[in-house]
Amino acid sequence: MTITLTVDGKKVTVEDGATILDAAKKAGVYIPTLCADEDLLPFGACRLCLVEVQGDRRPMLPACTTPATDGMVVRTSSPIIDKTRRNVVELLLSDHPEDCLTCPQNNRCELQRVAAYVGVRTNRFRGEKHAYPIDDSNPFYRRDLDRCVLCGKCVRTCDEVQQLGAINFAYRGFRTKIATVLDRPVATSTCESCGQCVDKCPVGALYPEAWLRYGLPTRETKTICSYCGVGCGLILQTRGNTVVGVRGDPDNPVNRGRTCVKGRFGYEFINHPDRLKKPLIKRDGAFVEATWDEALDLVAQRLAAVVRESGPDAVALLTSARCTSEENYLLQKFARGVLGTHNVDHCARL
Protein backbone atom coordinates (compact mmCIF):
# COMPACT_ATOMS: atom_id res chain seq x y z
CA MET A 1 0.00 0.00 0.00
CA THR A 2 1.21 3.51 -0.65
CA ILE A 3 0.46 6.84 0.96
CA THR A 4 0.36 10.22 -0.65
CA LEU A 5 0.95 13.35 1.37
CA THR A 6 2.06 16.93 0.92
CA VAL A 7 5.28 18.28 2.41
CA ASP A 8 5.77 22.02 2.06
CA GLY A 9 3.40 22.03 -0.88
CA LYS A 10 5.12 19.12 -2.65
CA LYS A 11 3.10 15.96 -3.25
CA VAL A 12 5.00 12.79 -2.45
CA THR A 13 4.09 9.10 -2.40
CA VAL A 14 5.70 6.74 0.09
CA GLU A 15 5.29 3.18 1.31
CA ASP A 16 2.98 2.45 4.22
CA GLY A 17 5.01 2.65 7.42
CA ALA A 18 7.20 5.53 6.26
CA THR A 19 7.66 8.46 8.62
CA ILE A 20 7.14 12.12 7.78
CA LEU A 21 10.93 12.42 7.69
CA ASP A 22 11.17 9.66 5.05
CA ALA A 23 8.53 11.43 3.00
CA ALA A 24 10.30 14.78 3.28
CA LYS A 25 13.58 13.21 2.15
CA LYS A 26 11.83 11.72 -0.83
CA ALA A 27 10.24 15.05 -1.64
CA GLY A 28 13.65 16.69 -1.44
CA VAL A 29 12.75 18.77 1.60
CA TYR A 30 15.48 19.16 4.23
CA ILE A 31 14.45 18.74 7.84
CA PRO A 32 17.21 19.24 10.41
CA THR A 33 17.92 16.16 12.52
CA LEU A 34 20.50 15.02 15.04
CA CYS A 35 19.19 11.73 16.35
CA ALA A 36 17.56 10.15 13.29
CA ASP A 37 19.55 7.54 11.37
CA GLU A 38 18.48 5.24 8.57
CA ASP A 39 20.11 2.22 10.20
CA LEU A 40 18.52 2.80 13.61
CA LEU A 41 15.03 2.73 15.05
CA PRO A 42 13.31 6.13 15.45
CA PHE A 43 14.23 7.70 18.78
CA GLY A 44 12.69 11.17 18.90
CA ALA A 45 15.23 12.71 21.25
CA CYS A 46 16.71 15.84 19.67
CA ARG A 47 13.40 17.52 18.78
CA LEU A 48 14.96 19.35 15.83
CA CYS A 49 12.74 17.64 13.29
CA LEU A 50 9.52 19.13 14.70
CA VAL A 51 7.00 19.90 11.97
CA GLU A 52 3.41 21.04 11.81
CA VAL A 53 0.65 18.70 10.66
CA GLN A 54 -2.50 20.42 9.53
CA GLY A 55 -5.48 19.62 11.74
CA ASP A 56 -3.50 17.86 14.48
CA ARG A 57 -4.31 18.65 18.09
CA ARG A 58 -0.64 19.04 18.94
CA PRO A 59 1.11 22.20 17.72
CA MET A 60 4.23 20.33 16.58
CA LEU A 61 5.21 16.71 15.95
CA PRO A 62 8.58 15.05 15.45
CA ALA A 63 8.96 14.08 11.78
CA CYS A 64 11.28 11.18 12.56
CA THR A 65 8.82 9.22 14.67
CA THR A 66 5.44 10.24 13.30
CA PRO A 67 4.06 7.88 10.65
CA ALA A 68 2.99 9.52 7.41
CA THR A 69 -0.70 9.11 6.68
CA ASP A 70 -2.67 9.51 3.51
CA GLY A 71 -3.65 13.09 2.72
CA MET A 72 -1.47 14.53 5.47
CA VAL A 73 -0.44 18.14 4.97
CA VAL A 74 2.95 18.87 6.53
CA ARG A 75 4.72 22.18 6.98
CA THR A 76 8.38 22.06 7.97
CA SER A 77 8.71 25.72 8.80
CA SER A 78 6.59 28.26 10.64
CA PRO A 79 7.37 30.98 13.17
CA ILE A 80 6.87 28.64 16.14
CA ILE A 81 8.77 25.75 14.54
CA ASP A 82 11.69 28.00 13.63
CA LYS A 83 11.76 29.54 17.09
CA THR A 84 11.64 26.19 18.85
CA ARG A 85 14.40 24.76 16.67
CA ARG A 86 16.56 27.82 17.17
CA ASN A 87 16.13 27.62 20.92
CA VAL A 88 16.95 23.90 20.92
CA VAL A 89 20.18 24.52 19.04
CA GLU A 90 20.98 27.52 21.21
CA LEU A 91 20.46 25.33 24.27
CA LEU A 92 22.79 22.70 22.86
CA LEU A 93 25.46 25.27 22.10
CA SER A 94 25.16 26.69 25.61
CA ASP A 95 26.63 23.39 26.84
CA HIS A 96 29.13 22.87 24.04
CA PRO A 97 32.83 23.76 23.96
CA GLU A 98 33.72 26.56 21.59
CA ASP A 99 36.57 24.67 19.95
CA CYS A 100 35.25 23.84 16.50
CA LEU A 101 38.50 24.84 14.82
CA THR A 102 40.43 22.15 16.64
CA CYS A 103 37.63 19.60 16.62
CA PRO A 104 38.19 16.52 14.44
CA GLN A 105 34.65 16.80 13.15
CA ASN A 106 34.99 20.41 11.98
CA ASN A 107 33.18 21.03 8.67
CA ARG A 108 31.55 17.60 8.78
CA CYS A 109 29.82 18.17 12.09
CA GLU A 110 26.03 17.85 12.07
CA LEU A 111 25.69 20.32 14.91
CA GLN A 112 27.44 22.93 12.79
CA ARG A 113 25.13 22.04 9.93
CA VAL A 114 21.90 22.42 11.92
CA ALA A 115 23.18 25.55 13.67
CA ALA A 116 23.86 27.11 10.30
CA TYR A 117 20.48 26.00 8.99
CA VAL A 118 18.39 27.35 11.86
CA GLY A 119 20.54 30.45 12.03
CA VAL A 120 21.89 30.62 15.57
CA ARG A 121 24.19 33.60 15.92
CA THR A 122 24.25 34.52 19.61
CA ASN A 123 23.78 32.67 22.82
CA ARG A 124 21.54 34.09 25.48
CA PHE A 125 21.88 31.16 27.85
CA ARG A 126 24.76 31.41 30.25
CA GLY A 127 25.27 28.67 32.74
CA GLU A 128 27.02 25.55 33.82
CA LYS A 129 28.93 23.63 31.16
CA HIS A 130 30.14 20.07 31.35
CA ALA A 131 33.84 19.50 31.79
CA TYR A 132 34.39 15.76 31.58
CA PRO A 133 37.89 14.33 31.33
CA ILE A 134 38.56 12.87 27.87
CA ASP A 135 38.48 9.08 28.02
CA ASP A 136 41.66 7.99 26.27
CA SER A 137 41.77 4.51 27.77
CA ASN A 138 40.88 2.82 24.49
CA PRO A 139 43.83 2.65 22.06
CA PHE A 140 41.62 3.10 19.00
CA TYR A 141 39.19 5.89 19.75
CA ARG A 142 38.76 8.87 22.02
CA ARG A 143 35.63 9.85 23.90
CA ASP A 144 35.19 13.56 24.62
CA LEU A 145 31.77 13.85 26.21
CA ASP A 146 31.93 17.64 26.45
CA ARG A 147 31.01 17.62 22.77
CA CYS A 148 28.32 14.97 23.13
CA VAL A 149 24.79 16.07 22.18
CA LEU A 150 23.22 12.90 23.66
CA CYS A 151 21.64 11.90 20.36
CA GLY A 152 21.95 8.29 21.53
CA LYS A 153 23.21 7.07 18.15
CA CYS A 154 26.20 5.37 19.75
CA VAL A 155 24.00 3.63 22.33
CA ARG A 156 21.53 2.46 19.72
CA THR A 157 24.26 1.40 17.30
CA CYS A 158 25.95 -0.73 19.92
CA ASP A 159 22.60 -2.21 20.93
CA GLU A 160 20.65 -2.51 17.68
CA VAL A 161 23.46 -3.03 15.15
CA GLN A 162 26.27 -4.65 17.13
CA GLN A 163 23.87 -6.36 19.56
CA LEU A 164 26.34 -5.68 22.33
CA GLY A 165 24.92 -2.97 24.60
CA ALA A 166 28.28 -1.87 25.96
CA ILE A 167 27.07 1.67 26.62
CA ASN A 168 23.88 3.40 27.70
CA PHE A 169 22.50 6.62 29.08
CA ALA A 170 23.34 7.05 32.75
CA TYR A 171 22.26 9.48 35.49
CA ARG A 172 19.43 12.00 35.09
CA GLY A 173 18.79 15.66 34.36
CA PHE A 174 21.74 17.84 33.40
CA ARG A 175 24.06 15.08 34.64
CA THR A 176 22.82 12.62 32.01
CA LYS A 177 25.71 11.17 30.03
CA ILE A 178 26.66 8.17 27.94
CA ALA A 179 28.47 5.63 30.07
CA THR A 180 29.76 2.10 30.09
CA VAL A 181 28.57 -0.33 32.75
CA LEU A 182 29.30 1.29 36.13
CA ASP A 183 30.68 4.32 34.28
CA ARG A 184 34.14 2.79 33.97
CA PRO A 185 36.77 3.75 31.36
CA VAL A 186 36.02 2.32 27.92
CA ALA A 187 39.07 0.06 27.94
CA THR A 188 37.88 -1.76 31.08
CA SER A 189 34.31 -2.12 29.80
CA THR A 190 32.59 -4.70 27.61
CA CYS A 191 33.21 -2.53 24.52
CA GLU A 192 34.79 -4.58 21.73
CA SER A 193 36.27 -1.54 19.99
CA CYS A 194 34.42 -2.23 16.77
CA GLY A 195 34.23 1.51 16.22
CA GLN A 196 30.70 1.33 14.87
CA CYS A 197 29.55 4.04 17.27
CA VAL A 198 32.55 6.20 16.41
CA ASP A 199 31.43 6.16 12.80
CA LYS A 200 27.87 7.18 13.75
CA CYS A 201 28.66 10.03 16.13
CA PRO A 202 27.36 13.20 14.46
CA VAL A 203 29.75 15.46 16.36
CA GLY A 204 33.29 15.33 17.61
CA ALA A 205 32.52 13.37 20.76
CA LEU A 206 33.82 10.06 19.43
CA TYR A 207 36.74 10.06 17.00
CA PRO A 208 39.61 7.76 15.98
CA GLU A 209 42.78 8.25 17.99
CA ALA A 210 44.84 8.02 14.80
CA TRP A 211 43.48 11.36 13.64
CA LEU A 212 45.37 13.01 16.48
CA ARG A 213 48.63 11.61 15.10
CA TYR A 214 48.06 11.67 11.36
CA GLY A 215 45.62 14.54 10.94
CA LEU A 216 42.30 14.27 9.15
CA PRO A 217 41.79 12.29 5.93
CA THR A 218 41.53 14.13 2.64
CA ARG A 219 40.63 11.31 0.26
CA GLU A 220 38.63 8.08 0.38
CA THR A 221 39.10 4.88 -1.61
CA LYS A 222 36.91 1.80 -1.70
CA THR A 223 38.50 -1.59 -1.07
CA ILE A 224 37.83 -5.02 0.44
CA CYS A 225 39.11 -6.02 3.85
CA SER A 226 41.91 -8.59 3.71
CA TYR A 227 41.56 -9.86 7.28
CA CYS A 228 38.97 -12.57 6.86
CA GLY A 229 36.77 -14.48 4.52
CA VAL A 230 33.74 -12.29 5.18
CA GLY A 231 35.27 -9.73 2.87
CA CYS A 232 33.70 -6.57 4.21
CA GLY A 233 33.66 -3.53 2.00
CA LEU A 234 35.95 -0.85 3.42
CA ILE A 235 36.62 2.75 2.60
CA LEU A 236 40.26 3.63 3.18
CA GLN A 237 40.72 7.19 4.30
CA THR A 238 44.01 8.67 3.25
CA ARG A 239 45.97 11.81 3.71
CA GLY A 240 48.66 12.09 1.05
CA ASN A 241 50.03 8.57 0.71
CA THR A 242 49.26 7.55 4.27
CA VAL A 243 46.23 5.53 5.32
CA VAL A 244 44.84 7.43 8.32
CA GLY A 245 41.49 5.73 8.81
CA VAL A 246 38.97 3.17 7.68
CA ARG A 247 35.22 3.18 7.64
CA GLY A 248 32.80 0.49 6.59
CA ASP A 249 31.39 0.83 3.09
CA PRO A 250 27.68 1.53 3.53
CA ASP A 251 26.98 0.45 -0.05
CA ASN A 252 28.66 -2.95 0.24
CA PRO A 253 25.99 -5.66 0.56
CA VAL A 254 28.26 -7.88 2.67
CA ASN A 255 28.65 -5.59 5.67
CA ARG A 256 26.48 -2.55 4.92
CA GLY A 257 28.85 -0.16 6.62
CA ARG A 258 29.87 -2.36 9.51
CA THR A 259 33.27 -3.79 10.33
CA CYS A 260 34.97 -5.53 13.22
CA VAL A 261 37.81 -4.06 15.24
CA LYS A 262 40.51 -5.46 12.92
CA GLY A 263 38.96 -4.14 9.75
CA ARG A 264 38.38 -0.69 11.17
CA PHE A 265 41.40 -0.11 13.30
CA GLY A 266 44.00 -2.71 12.28
CA TYR A 267 45.40 -0.79 9.31
CA GLU A 268 48.51 0.80 10.65
CA PHE A 269 50.73 -2.08 9.48
CA ILE A 270 50.18 -0.64 6.00
CA ASN A 271 52.29 2.34 6.90
CA HIS A 272 54.92 0.31 8.78
CA PRO A 273 58.53 0.40 7.45
CA ASP A 274 59.06 -3.32 8.22
CA ARG A 275 56.07 -4.38 6.14
CA LEU A 276 56.97 -7.03 3.51
CA LYS A 277 56.13 -5.93 0.02
CA LYS A 278 58.08 -8.59 -1.92
CA PRO A 279 58.74 -12.33 -1.31
CA LEU A 280 62.01 -13.27 0.39
CA ILE A 281 64.12 -16.36 -0.33
CA LYS A 282 66.73 -17.58 2.13
CA ARG A 283 70.09 -17.82 0.37
CA ASP A 284 73.23 -18.74 2.34
CA GLY A 285 71.48 -18.15 5.65
CA ALA A 286 70.08 -14.72 4.81
CA PHE A 287 66.77 -13.54 3.31
CA VAL A 288 67.08 -11.98 -0.11
CA GLU A 289 64.32 -10.20 -2.06
CA ALA A 290 62.95 -12.14 -5.00
CA THR A 291 60.22 -11.88 -7.64
CA TRP A 292 56.89 -13.71 -7.25
CA ASP A 293 57.78 -16.01 -10.12
CA GLU A 294 61.05 -17.04 -8.47
CA ALA A 295 59.31 -17.65 -5.17
CA LEU A 296 56.44 -19.69 -6.59
CA ASP A 297 58.78 -21.73 -8.75
CA LEU A 298 60.84 -22.58 -5.70
CA VAL A 299 57.78 -23.68 -3.73
CA ALA A 300 56.59 -25.87 -6.61
CA GLN A 301 59.98 -27.47 -7.02
CA ARG A 302 60.37 -28.28 -3.34
CA LEU A 303 56.83 -29.68 -3.01
CA ALA A 304 57.33 -31.89 -6.05
CA ALA A 305 60.65 -33.08 -4.68
CA VAL A 306 59.22 -34.02 -1.27
CA VAL A 307 56.30 -35.89 -2.81
CA ARG A 308 58.63 -37.72 -5.11
CA GLU A 309 61.08 -38.71 -2.36
CA SER A 310 58.74 -39.44 0.57
CA GLY A 311 55.23 -39.79 -0.84
CA PRO A 312 52.27 -37.34 -0.79
CA ASP A 313 51.50 -37.87 2.92
CA ALA A 314 54.81 -36.31 3.83
CA VAL A 315 53.18 -33.01 2.90
CA ALA A 316 50.42 -31.14 4.75
CA LEU A 317 48.61 -27.93 3.86
CA LEU A 318 47.39 -25.47 6.47
CA THR A 319 45.13 -22.71 5.21
CA SER A 320 44.21 -19.38 6.68
CA ALA A 321 41.09 -17.67 7.94
CA ARG A 322 42.19 -14.68 5.92
CA CYS A 323 41.34 -16.67 2.75
CA THR A 324 37.88 -16.70 1.30
CA SER A 325 35.81 -19.89 1.18
CA GLU A 326 36.59 -20.20 -2.52
CA GLU A 327 40.32 -19.97 -1.86
CA ASN A 328 40.05 -22.56 0.89
CA TYR A 329 38.14 -24.86 -1.46
CA LEU A 330 40.80 -24.47 -4.12
CA LEU A 331 43.52 -25.29 -1.64
CA GLN A 332 41.99 -28.58 -0.55
CA LYS A 333 41.40 -29.41 -4.24
CA PHE A 334 45.08 -28.75 -4.84
CA ALA A 335 46.03 -30.99 -1.87
CA ARG A 336 43.85 -33.89 -2.92
CA GLY A 337 43.85 -33.56 -6.70
CA VAL A 338 47.37 -32.35 -7.38
CA LEU A 339 49.47 -33.46 -4.42
CA GLY A 340 47.35 -36.55 -3.60
CA THR A 341 47.05 -36.12 0.20
CA HIS A 342 44.21 -35.61 2.65
CA ASN A 343 46.52 -33.65 4.93
CA VAL A 344 44.70 -30.32 4.89
CA ASP A 345 43.69 -28.26 7.84
CA HIS A 346 42.68 -24.73 8.73
CA CYS A 347 43.74 -22.32 11.43
CA ALA A 348 40.16 -21.74 12.53
CA ARG A 349 40.08 -25.35 13.80
CA LEU A 350 42.91 -24.83 16.24
Partner 1 sequence: MYSDYASLRAWAESEIARTRPADRTRILVGLGTCGIAAGGLDVLAALREKLADMPVSAEIVPVGCIGMCFEEPLVDIVRPGEPRICYAKVTPKSIPTILEEHLLHNNVRKDLAFAVIGDEPYDGVPAWKQLPFFATQRRTVLRNCGFIDPESVAEYIVHDGYAALAKALFEMTPESVIEEVKRSGLRGRGGAGFPTGMKWAFCRQSPGEHKYVICNADEGDPGAFMNRSVLEGDPHSVLEGLIIAAYAIGADHGYIYCRAEYPLAIVRLRKALEQARALGLLGERIFGTDFSFDVTIKEGAGAFVCGEETALMASIEGKRGMPRPRPPFPAQKGLWGQPTNINNVETLNNIPPIILNGADWFAAVGTEKSKGTKTFALTGKVVNSSLIEVPFGMTLREVIFGVGGGIANGRQFKAAQTGGPSGGCLSSEHLDWPIDYETLTKAGSIMGSGGLVVMDDSTCMVDVARFFLNFTQSESCGKCIPCRLGTKRMLEILERIVAGQGKMEDIDLLLELGETVKLGSLCGLGQTAPNPVLSTIRYFRDEYEAHIKEHRCPAKVCKALITYRISEEKCTGCTLCARNCPVNAISGERKKVHVIDPAVCTRCDTCRQVCNFDAVLVD
Nearer to ligand FES, 203 or 260 (CB): 203
User: SS3 helix, strand, coil % of the chain, rounded to 5?
Assistant: 35, 20, 45
The number of residues that bind ligand SF4 (CB under 6 A) is 38
Cα gap 126→124, rounded to integer Å: 6
Minimum CB separation from partner 1 for residue 4, in Å? 20
Could you say which of partner 1, ligand FES, ligand SF4, none residue 191 binds, taking C-beta under 5 to 8 angstroms by partner kind?
ligand SF4
**Is there a contact between 7 and 74 (Cβ–Cβ < 8 Å)?**
yes
Contact call for residue 48 and ligand FES (CB under 6 A)? yes
Could you say which of ligand FES, ligand SF4, partner 1, none residue 290 binds, taking C-beta under 5 to 8 angstroms by partner kind?
none
Minimum CB separation from partner 1 for residue 295, in Å? 57
Minimum CB separation from ligand FES for residue 237, in Å? 18
Q: Which stretch binds ligand SF4 (CB under 6 A): 11-19, 152-160, 299-307, 308-316?
A: 152-160
Could you say which of partner 1, ligand SF4, ligand FES, none residue 247 binds, taking C-beta under 5 to 8 angstroms by partner kind?
none
The number of residues that bind ligand FES (CB under 6 A) is 22
Could you say which of ligand SF4, partner 1, ligand FES, none residue 72 binds, taking C-beta under 5 to 8 angstroms by partner kind?
none
3-class SS string, the chain: CEEEEEECCEEEEEECCCEHHHHHHHCCCCCCCCCCCCCCCCCCCCCCCEEEECCCCCCCEECCCCECCCCCEEECCCHHHHHHHHHHHHHHHHCCCCCHHHCCCCCCCHHHHHHHHHCCCCCCCCCCCCCCCCECCCCCEEECHHHCCCCCHHHHHHHHHCCCCCEEEECCHHHCEEEEHHHCCHHHCCCCCCCHHHHHCCCCCEEECHHHHHCCCCEEEEEECCCCCCCCEEEEEEECCEEEEEEECCCCCCCCCCCCHHHHHCCHHHHCCCCCCCCEEEECCEEEECCHHHHHHHHHHHHHHHHHHHCHHHCCEEECCCCCHHHHHHHHHHHHHHHCCCCEEEHHHC
| Interface pick for ligand SF4 out of 33, 252, 259, 319 (rule CB under 6 A) | 259
Contact call for residue 179 and ligand SF4 (CB under 6 A)? no
| Interface pick for partner 1 out of 13, 73, 77, 91 (rule CB under 8 A) | 91
Q: Which stretch binds ligand FES (CB under 6 A): 4-12, 106-114, 224-232, 334-342?
A: 106-114
Any idea what DSSP says for residue 68? Answer: P
Could you say which of ligand SF4, partner 1, ligand FES, none residue 112 binds, taking C-beta under 5 to 8 angstroms by partner kind?
ligand FES
Binding mask 130-149 for partner 1 (x = CB under 8 A): -------------------x
Output the CA angle 206-322-273, nearest 5 degrees: 65
Nearer to partner 1, 149 or 225 (CB): 149
Minimum CB separation from partner 1 for residue 106, in Å? 22
**Is there a contact between 44 and 61 (Cβ–Cβ < 8 Å)?**
no
Minimum CB separation from ligand SF4 for residue 52, in Å? 20
Residues 6+ apart with CB under 8 A from 333: none
Summarize as ranges the residues that interact with ligand FES (CB under 6 A).
Answer: 33-36, 44-49, 62, 64, 100, 103, 105-106, 109, 111-112, 147, 203-204
Summarize as ranges the residues that interact with partner 1 (CB under 8 A).
Answer: 42-47, 50, 59-60, 62, 65-67, 80, 83-84, 87-88, 91-92, 94-95, 124-128, 149-150, 152, 168-169, 171-176
Summarize as ranges the residues that interact with ligand SF4 (CB under 6 A).
Answer: 148-154, 157-158, 162, 164, 166-167, 178, 191-197, 200-203, 205-206, 225, 227-228, 230-232, 255, 259-260, 262-263
